[in-house]
Structure 1
């Protein structure tokens, strides 16, 4: 069926653009935006944290004995459980709880992969460095009644981690490149057996971790140190878990309002492909576009990190040049879907070609576009995976980001491989043209939202400049409609105007006051590391909200959970509210994200009024009722 798009402007036909000309201009704009982004990040960021000079401190030989004696009283009655079934075959401690340690200049992170039907007790963790007890930050666990302790206790299933902030350690420890870490933990099986407390010792030399295995010789010699395969196996298990979390988080990204319309149209276009091989090719082309885009973004992030800069996930939307480019891109896409611009030939990643292109390049560029749109956000399951990836060697980090892109492409890939799922899709017809034009409006709204984010970074002048670019595009379309012979000239002038506006908006960084200094609103106070340190020294209860204007998850939580009534209830209980705005790069916020093993926002931390008690990390997507209950318990 031949469908003719209804022009937005009367008496003019849709403008058809030459492919090679359009591809050249788009690639030129994209390259300039990328170069400006890199320049901006280097200009904004200061020198990275440098590790201290090091010397050696030895672990006391009686360290393990002291750990055991400290915890033996509390665990004395839990070693044997009368409720355990004698016929149950239980795993060993190392099989049930796979522990691995990783270290960086800013933190030491202990991670456990926990087998199904087993759990760890939250209150039984103990950490010693060079014989001194230290605190570690853990995410909130599941609270339930325990028949052993006969009270509600915090438990961890599947996975957990504990983060030791090295900046909070005594100077004598940080001044050494040799650290002896001792970790004690205890868990149980759902079937009833509880294990005695398990203690493992590790040596950390220049952030390289090896386990200290204790072997007793006949003459009672001291422990012998070697690097064991069990630690390697634990690291492999955690990496596999992070890959699964990345795939799950990537799949959830498809629900973003600016991604879902594009994915919907591309999914519906599969109904036009009756050949199974053709559908599969399109599925894998889309997947390749998603995966490569995430890998490229991750590669840029890792290059900046390795150059000594601290950056996090979503860093690309801290650049006005990228925001301006995306705003124009979404506006042009909206014009394409509205039928105002038609793209010919093999350049089929946007607009009308999203539903009518037969080339696999259309699917590839749709995957690229969807990944670019979704990349600034952090979905559930993603935060842990991204935080882990940013502390790993480059090959593992890129593998996790590739898994994120694969997870995002997975729904479309399943549609392309499983014909029975395609039967659930509506049949092609006139309604698809109407639907295509209708979903153009969410893209227009996305452009408006991006302009709002731009205004938060560079002020109202940046918005006005961008609107002048929109005017240039519309004027170019009007001239092309009434004077077709001037089409090439007007397109070229519009692209030059867009490039100039992107450049000018990028130069406006620093024209406005630092948004972090004025980001507080309502009952929030702006976050600074000095403020947090001072409040913690005074044993204050503190809630920290790290957010950004371009973070959709952050805005969702702020609208549903952080209401004036809820925030006032927290203030009435003496809770200090600190808000860190990461819309533009901020070194102190980036350091706090890195300290708690997070690659991006949102991050919610609750400090419960004790200088030595680590913060509780709240979920990324908050439930209003659960949050109110948390406030009532303060």
Structure 2
């Protein structure tokens, strides 16, 4: 009963949020609060031009010098506002001004904070100002500088910020408006918050059958099978819904933390330590499926949450398993995920960004809920069949662990692990057991599957010792050595010039005096999707022909540094794999950016759009 009350409250909360008045999509902070600074005699005059519907806090205007000590700041009175976040406080609408006592030397750091009226509150922003470079403010009513005794005219400040100069070592790339707006902004513009939630829910359903979500099916199936004879459609619905809601909540939480942290979701969750921890979890699940031990909550918790269900799966254990499963689907970058994280990082709107991520996670889990509800009938109840199914789940868990750890292992080691897994599966399924003449069709099909798995394992072992790295092409090195024909045109990693920072990227883009279109590809050694792209997409002759004449540049994010992190922020790249298509003037072609699971057709289409723009 408590479970269904919780779910009902959760649905009502989302419905209330969706029914709330639609707020205009928030502007980037530098557009909502346009700041400029000028000399005013011995002092420094600051002015913020605020967009309609935005306000600035008087209390949170401050400045410090190079030594970190406060700098005296004078501000005019504001208007009193009953702010939901800060209580009764003074704010400025339209225009805000301040006067600083300029230090004799060194830089100034000016901090300010504001909000969208009825919408989000931006995080505090600090701007560096060099007093030595500021121009003198002129009074348009006189021929000399503004007198400290007279108020300054607004015309004394052209609305061009002098506080944040353009970086001299930037790559000089102009990203497209569509990339800057993002999928969240596009959905908000079309239909508001309700449309945004529905859109991300639908996008999640479309992503539910991608490789990163596949491991969730055996995890949930193993949880359901532990119920044994007591598993009903209602019980399956409760367990699967708990699993999915917990997964979506964790997915949303991790995304918000990663966006605020300033790193991509994959970088936050695919560190070596995190990957090994998740792989170890799947190893433990596999060993439990083989009967080496039983995974369950401590007895004092189990007796409270499921006193009458023995060792069956409880709602609490399903929730814990769902929460931890987010570590598996989180690192897989997709266009909706990248858009939501970028929106949080740019606007600071945690609530809306987290809601979008939650809806995306729920959408990915809808097929899991359907499987748990309507697929509970075919699941085995007891006996030898259940043990067989658990063993199959165990091999799926082991396969997931190998898949996760493959990127951390030396080349070819992963292929050996896949070989061992395939041969071991053949042994478990009875491929080498003596078959009785009266054996039925199912037993014979199982034996055939086992023999094929064993043969595949042998081919994988041969490929590993021959230098192969692709489990789908274990004999590729041998075939290449024997081939006398000319190999088809293809793109390999060595075809790309490498850049690690904005300065290096700028240098590569300016190297061609004639100006050529460019593809900037963000990749990483730990990115599983990147390996698939490099193995199956870039090696395709169609892609090679489509990108003929296009300068190929890669940005390696295997190790995140301050230089490439800054470059990612400037180009609004959440993580790998991401492809930017730039024309000869280094302008990103509209609607050409590719993120996540990139296909041959998508690359060819973006390349065609690039060439049409020339």
Question: Normalising to structure 1: TM-score of the pair?
Answer: 0.48
Higher relative contact order (CA 8 A, sep 6+): 1
Choose 1 or 2 for highest CA Rg. 2
